[in-house]
Each structure stands twice: as structure tokens, then as C-alpha cells.
Amino acid sequence: MMKKFAIGLFVIGLILFSHPSWAAVTVNIAEPFVSQAPYHKWDFIHNESCEETNVIMAYLWINNTKPTSKFVEAEIQKLTKWGLKKFKTYDTTAEQTAQMARENYGLSPKILKAPTLDQLKKELDQGHIIVMSFTGRLFHSPYYTKPGPLYHMLTLKGYDDKNFITNDVGTNTRGADFKFSFENIMTAAHDWTGSAKTLLKFSAVALIFEKN
């Protein structure tokens, strides 16, 4: 009996080895990566432009457009001025960021409040990208200048068996396909409140972008 059981385990292992995609599901949507500092100039505006840059990435992905530093920089400047005129602030909530996407690019992100892990994975399974806001200093990333951003936005573009795969615009280049654990993403996810002191009091809000 034990011999048959061992043979059965060996066969299962051989099948999984021959078909690794059966052993661990991996979703990774091909969204182009851009940095919120496209010329690697981290001045005040570019330190504050994560919301604008994630909207730009979504626009590029939806329109199958290859990014250039010149285009991204011009759009960051345009969206920053728009946000200051509209909201009188550099930092925007998820709903304000959705409004930015609608009024500047004609995009129609779905707003998902307090999303669960399964809901986020389901959206990715359907080929949708997800823009979310976070308490940046709760992130486990070695590429932020310490102590890290108080408030940050990035895009979820996939997942594997343990992690979300992201485009993290808060780096020069290393944010492309950067992985954060499921636990880290779900713990750090908080929408902007207007004040860093109350950031942890707001639950997560996800912006779901899909191609037509």
C-alpha cells in the first residue's frame, strides 16, 4: 500500500514539474512601467506625483502606447497643475484620482471600497489593473529613501502564490514587477484622509481599470 502511495506522489510531482503553471498560478498583466521621476529628478513635484503617474500608466496601458520620458514628464506637469486647481492639494484621494482619470483621459475606473484579497485577485484574473493608495512607510521595499513616503500609490498588475506583482512608480527603474506580499499590501492599504495623522483610520479603496 505504501509503495503505491509513494508511486502516486512521484507521478503527481512529475506532472507538476512538467507543468509548473499547474503548481502555482501566476498572473502578470503587461502594463508599461514609468517612474514618477522620469528623468530621475526627485524634487518636490516628483516626490508628490505618484497619483498622476499611476493614472498615466493606466492611460498608456489602455491605449497600447509605449511611454517616453518626454511624454510622461509633460503629463505629470499637466496633471499636477490640474490637481492643484481642482483640489488645492498635491495629494489626492482615490475618488479624486478617479476624477483625474475621467476628466483628463476619458477613462472610467470602477471604485471598489474596502476590497478583500480575493476580490483583488479576481479583478486581476479578469485582466484588470488596480491602482491603490497606501501608507508608504508600512511597505517592505529596500528602494525607498528612508523613512519612505507617508502616502503612496502604486498599481497591482498580477500575483503569484504569495505576492502581488506591482508597478511601483516611486523608484527610478526597480519598481517594475516589484513584489509585495499579500499581507504587506492588505496591511498598508489605506486611502488618503487629507492628513498623515489620520491616514490609518481610512480603509482601502481600489480603482479598477479595464480595456474596452
What the chain holds in terms of domains, given with CATH numbers, is 24-209 (3.90.70.10)
| pLDDT score at 21 | 44
pLDDT of residue 8 exceeding 80, the answer is no
* Choice among 24-33, 95-104, 164-173, 193-202 with the minimum mean pLDDT: 193-202
- Averaged confidence pLDDT in the chain: 88
Is pLDDT of 7 > 70?
no
Instruction: Tell me how far apart the alpha carbons of residues 212 and 201 are, in angstroms, rounded to a whole number.
Output: 35
Which tens digits make up the pLDDT trace of 136-148?
888 888 888 888 7
* More confident: 42 or 136: 42
* Proportion of the chain above pLDDT 90, given as a percent: 73
Q: Read off the pLDDT of residues 156-210 as tens digits, 9 standing for 90 and up.
A: 999 999 999 999 999 999 999 999 999 999 999 998 877 667 666 678 999 999 9
Confidence of residue 14 (pLDDT cuts 50, 70, 90): very low
| Full 3-state SS string of 34-90 | CCCCCCCCCCHHHHCCHHHHHHHHHHHHHCCCCCCHHHHHHHHHHHHHHHHHHHCCC
Q: What is the mean pLDDT of residues 77-102?
A: 96
Three-state DSSP at 30 gives coil
Q: What is the pLDDT of residue 76?
A: 98
Average pLDDT of the residues in 124-146 = 91
Is residue 81 scored above 50 in pLDDT?
A: yes
Cα-only R_g, the chain:
19
Give me the numbers of helices (H) and strands (E) for the chain, helices first please: 8, 7
Q: Among the listed ranges 2-6, 94-98, 135-139, which one has the minimum average pLDDT value?
A: 2-6
Residues 57, 63, 69, 74, CA torsion sign: negative
Q: Is the pLDDT of residue 59 over 90?
A: yes
d(C-alpha 96, C-alpha 70), whole Å: 25
How is 83-135 classified by DSSP, letter by letter?
HHHHHSSS---HHHHHHHHHHHH---PEEEES--HHHHHHHHHTT-EEEEEEE
